[in-house]
Amino acid sequence: MTPKKNNAALIRVAIADDHPLVINGLHHILANSADMEVIASYTNGRELLKGLTAQQPDVLLLDIQMPGQTGDELAEIISAQYPTVRMLALTNQDNVYYIKNMLRKGVHGYILKTTREDILLEAIRVLYQGGQYLEASLKEKVLQDTLQAKKQTAATPVLSRREKEVLQLIAQNLTSQQIADQLFLSKRTVDNHRLSLLMKLGAKNAAAMVKTAIQLGLIG
Amino acid sequence: MTPKKNNAALIRVAIADDHPLVINGLHHILANSADMEVIASYTNGRELLKGLTAQQPDVLLLDIQMPGQTGDELAEIISAQYPTVRMLALTNQDNVYYIKNMLRKGVHGYILKTTREDILLEAIRVLYQGGQYLEASLKEKVLQDTLQAKKQTAATPVLSRREKEVLQLIAQNLTSQQIADQLFLSKRTVDNHRLSLLMKLGAKNAAAMVKTAIQLGLIG
DNA sequence: AGCAGATTAGGTATTTATACCTAATTTCAA
DNA sequence: TTGAAATTAGGTATAAATACCTAATCTGCT
């Protein structure tokens, strides 16, 4: 075991995972790293949140599949409560949806449990220095997912010019009357466009319509 | 100039750019490539659309800044009309917003006009073979933009559990009455939550509210 | 134990959206 | 140039949302 340096602050790491074996394994890996120390470990969300009130690590290794609270709920809470704690999501789940969700919830890095030790250590260091860390393979996946957003757009209904205009304005907080004024049209005309839009987008009210339109990329 | 092979189909490329100089330059570059031929070039959107009715290239080099129709409109039309034509956006604009927009509109690759010749040729080949091509620097930008979606979430208003529930259901085509039934609440209660949501999200109607909520990542 | 905020629900009124019609005019492509 | 689709606009009616109140629980936190 590498002796700890005394002339530099160690990276204080905490571990949250419901499998004691995993905690043990991580403990050993980190213990062999000269610039880190494990200051706590927790096996469920409640313990974790309670523990954080007492002491905050620099970097928190967070399993997203723990019993009770899910990882993304925890990430959200911790991100809001302890913004200085850097979170590294540690999981088996390589689904792009989960990755994006966790990043949205405030996690700063995301690596798989199958990751090599040196990469794990590297990720912790990057996070400690204020960076983000995504494994190369995950980066590629997230990127591809973003690029392929187009594929879902394939079944987009055909909207006329006017309909698109009206749709934009509906999504911008305007009533039919206001839209009519802005486009120099009768309110009834705008109402007709509204109804066409509802039909074409398969919605029963403006709220659902806007949601669908955004998902289809019709409006930003 | 490299002689063209006769034993393999050449990649048929068309060019759309409003600068004749650029067209000329591209022409020379492609002419020196053994596996490509330029079958047409256009200097505006109208010409391009008309030309496509006569013959379709395998790969279309598309400047997104042309007079008249904008590149994204053209991309959308061409994508719908000629789905087999692979489009490579060629531009000076390296803004992430433009890149994502063009990709959404059906463009398959995006490179800058400052790109080296060999990379341009490589991109055309990748597109011809059905792939997507983004320059490494642009990939990184798009990725970072996606990851930093979180930063915008920082100013997210704090919604209560109930409010989130109601918000979800509003976006799913339900009226206040239907939401009340589903959650075993009074319609008036749901109406109150609606009003709180409108206020917290700074919207005046459900449509704009849903748009804001999606942009903030509050709903999928 | 006590306080703040969340959740619940009702009264009342006005504004807006939705629904289903008809129909004249314009636009664009076959 | 002819026909289909888009755009325009009106009549009429009902359903729904928005706005501004009050106020009784409930819940979580100190």
Per-residue confidence (pLDDT) for residue B75, from 0 to 100: 81
Helix locations, A32-175, DSSP H: 45-54, 71-81, 96-104, 117-128, 136-147, 149-152, 161-170
Residue B88 backbone phi and psi in degrees, to 5: -115, 110
- Give percent of chain B with pLDDT exceeding 90: 22
Q: Which residue's alpha carbon is at the shortest distance from the C1' of C8?
A: B189
Q: Above 60 in pLDDT, residue A150?
A: no
CB-based contact B34:B3 (threshold 8 Å)? yes
Radius of gyration of chain B, Cα coordinates, nearest whole angstrom: 24
Per-residue confidence (pLDDT) for residue B54, from 0 to 100: 85
Compute CA A32 distance to the chain's CA centroid, rounded to the nearest angstrom. Answer: 31
In this prediction, residue B144 carries a pLDDT of 73
Our CA dihedral for A170, A175, A177, A178, rounded to 10 degrees, sits at -70
Structural Rg of chain A based on CA atoms: 24
- The number of residues making up chain B comes to 220
Q: Which one-letter DSSP state was computed for residue A155?
A: G
Write down how long chain A is.
220
Mean pLDDT within A77-89? 83
**For residue A90, pLDDT beyond 80:** yes
- Interface contact A207-B207, CB threshold 8 A: yes
User: B220: pLDDT confidence band, cut at 50, 70 and 90?
Assistant: low
Give the residue-averaged pLDDT of B121-131.
90
Binning pLDDT at 50, 70 and 90, where does residue A68 land? Answer: low
- Whether nucleic acid strand D comes within 7 Å of the CB of B44, the answer is no
Write out which nucleotides of chain D lie closer than 7 A to a protein Cβ: 5-12, 15-22
Q: Is the CB of B175 under 7 A from strand D?
A: yes
Distance CA A18, CA A67 (A): 7
Q: Kindly indicate the confidence band of residue B152, based on its pLDDT and cuts at 50, 70 and 90.
A: very low
Closest Cα in chain B to A132: B147
Compute the nearest-CA separation of B4 from chain A (Å): 34
Question: Residue A153: what pLDDT?
Answer: 45
Here the tokens at position A122 are: 């590297």
Question: What would the pLDDT profile of B33-54 be if each residue is shown by its tens digit?
Answer: 889 999 999 888 878 888 888 8
Least CB-CB distance to A142: which of B143, B171, B211? Answer: B143
> What is the per-residue pLDDT for A1?
46
Question: What distance in Å separates the CA atoms of residue B11 and residue B8, rounded to the nearest whole number?
Answer: 9
Interface test with B, best of A101, A172, A210 (most B CBs within 10 A): A210
Domains and CATH numbers, chain B: 11-147 (3.40.50.2300), 152-215 (1.10.10.10)
**pLDDT over 50 at A5, yes or no:** no
First to last CA, chain B: 54
pTM: 0.56
Whether residue B150 and residue A204 make contact (CB cut-off 8 A), yes or no, is no
A chain contacts of residue B132, beta-carbon cutoff 8 Å: 147
Distance between CA atoms of residues A17 and A22, nearest Å:
7
CA–CA gap between residue B154 and residue B144 (Å, rounded)? 16
Does A143 score more than 80 pLDDT? no
* The 3-state secondary structure of B188-209, one letter per residue: HHHHHHHHHHHHHCCCCCHHHH
- Choose between A220 and A124: higher pLDDT: A124
Reported as a pLDDT band with limits 50, 70 and 90, residue A37 is very high
Closest nucleotide (C1' vs CA) to A187 is D9
Contact (CB<8Å) B104/A210: no
Please check whether strand D approaches the CB of A183 to within 7 Å. Answer: yes
* B185 CB less than 7 Å from any atom of strand D: no
Contact A207 B210 (CB under 8 A): yes
Q: How far is the CA of B37 from the C1' of C29 (A)?
A: 33
Higher-confidence residue of A8 and A167: namely: A167
Tens digit of each residue's pLDDT (9 = 90 or more) over B178-194: 999 888 899 999 999 99
